[in-house]
Structure 1
């Protein structure tokens, strides 16, 4: 479709490469821990998104959503990613 072709052309003119995460590697232990955390996080995000879209949950409950992410150890997942990025940058 013409709109799709225009979107691809527009996207190609951005500076997205500046913001892409490089090919970082986690340790096997980090990878296992990260996968476990993100599985739970992704489930929560998907469920919450659907609830908000369908109107069964209010956007006002966003703070509760953030608190739940904390209990699922999202901060640890970010630490794992940051550690892998730091190792990549030291190469």
Structure 2
């Protein structure tokens, strides 16, 4: 349910927030310690950054066998790290076609 800015949320916590209130998010956010939530966020961001760099390199190098696994598999940065370390950066812009 979407609440208006400044309006009370209809859930049990009765907080004031302009976002969609989902009942299961309240129990999840209370049960995970703040430091763990931060660590999960950092790992997720690092995984996304590695995935973007690895996918960009695989697409530039036309490594078709790597594109789908890099895009689909969630490996906490392991697969992108393997790809980036085994396929060094090359300057593909200056190569003749």
TM bucket (normalised to shorter chain) is 0.3 to 0.5
Greater length-normalized contact order (CA 8 Å, ≥ 6 residues apart) = 1
TM-score (norm 2): 0.34
TM-score (norm 1): 0.35
Radius of gyration: which is bigger?
A: 2
Question: Normalized per residue, which structure has more helix?
Answer: 1
